[in-house]
Structure 1
Amino acid sequence: MRIYGVTGWKNAGKTGLMERLVAEISGRGFSVSTVKHAHHSFDVDQPGKDSHRHRSAGAREVLLASGTRWALMHEMRGAAEPPLDVLLSKLEPVDLVLVEGYKRETHPKVEAHRAEPGNALIAPGDDSIRAIASDIPLSMDRPVFDLNDTAAIADFILQDVGL
């Protein structure tokens, strides 16, 4: 499975870039799935709903299904967070999986960068970052794209993965 990441520090524009890339690449006829890493606890369920009640009662996994979608919720119950490759193995095959976060993994990535938060670039110390998408001009040893030039960034990613 082809994977490509979007990484960067908090408030760098990762999620907006991911959203635009999914729309751009899927709009070109490719199937795209995403993986998003969260550093905090999150919940896709709602207290009081049957599925939440199942989880609260101690179920390890709850699969919620309808005619529109299905969702599998897996409770870690104290186990270690699974590595990215294990999570990727749970996805159905697609043309491209875009991964948000996971900056320490070695898959190819584009670094999203905004000047305003004042964070240093990750790219100088990370060869897995193949390009930078920034809101300011940068002189780097790899391609630099305007953060909002989604089509050019998509072209680069698709070429890099061979699509």
Structure 2
Amino acid sequence: MKIYGVTGYKNAGKTGLMERLVTEITSRGFTVSTLKHAHHSFDVDHPGKDSYRHRHAGAHQVLLSSATRWALMTELRDNDEVPLADLLAKLDPVDLILVEGYKRDAHPKIEAYRAENKHPVLAQEDPTVRAVASDCALDVTQPRFDLNDTKAIADFILSEVGL
């Protein structure tokens, strides 16, 4: 499986870019899965639901299944966060996995950048950032794309991973 990341600081446009890339790349006939890193606690379950009650009773894993989807939740409790490589191994084979976040990991990435956030440009110091998608002109050595030029960004990523 091929892996490519979308990285950048908060509110840089990562999620919107991911969404547009999934739509663009799947429209070309490729299969795509996504993996997103959250820097905060999150919950996909809701208080009062049976699965929530199972987890809060102490279950290590709860698997929900229906005719339309299934989801497996694993409670880490006091254990360390699972490394990206271990999470990738849990995904079914597809043509491309797009990873949102994980800016410190070694996979190739494109940086989403918005001028209004006034953050430093990660690409200037991170060799794993192969290109920048921004809403402004930037002085970078990597290729730079308009943040909204999804087709060109998809072309670049697919070329980078050999698809």
Output one character per residue of 1:81-129: Cα deviation in whole Å (capped at 9) or x when no partner. Answer: 0100000000000000000000000100000000001111001110000
For 1:104 and 1:162, locate their aligned partners in 2 and report how far apart those are by CA, in whole Å.
Answer: 23
For 1:139 and 1:95, locate their aligned partners in 2 and report how far apart those are by CA, in whole Å.
Answer: 33
Length-normalised TM-score, structure 2: 0.99
SS of the aligned residue for 1:99 comes to strand
**After alignment, is 134-143 or 36-45 more displaced?**
134-143
- How many aligned residue pairs are there? 163
Residue 128 of structure 2 is aligned to residue 143 of structure 1: no
- Structure 1 counterpart of 2:132, one-letter code: I
SS of the aligned residue for 1:116 comes to helix
Alignment of 1:97-112 (within 5 A): 97-112=97-112
What do you get for the CA RMSD once the two structures are aligned? Answer: 0.5
Structure 2 match to 1:83: 83
Runs of 4+ aligned structure 1 residues displaced above 3 Å come to: none
Output one character per residue of 1:45-102: Cα deviation in whole Å (capped at 9) or x when no partner. Answer: 0110000000010000000000000000000011000100000000000000000000
For 1:161 and 1:45, locate their aligned partners in 2 and report how far apart those are by CA, in whole Å.
Answer: 35
- Structure 2 counterpart of 1:12, one-letter code: A
Alignment identity in percent? 69
Unaligned runs of 5+ in 2: none
Length-normalised TM-score, structure 1: 0.99
Residue 140 of structure 2 is aligned to residue 122 of structure 1: no
Structure 2 match to 1:17: 17
For 2:139 and 2:28, locate their aligned partners in 1 and report how far apart those are by CA, in whole Å.
Answer: 30
Structure 1 match to 2:32: 32
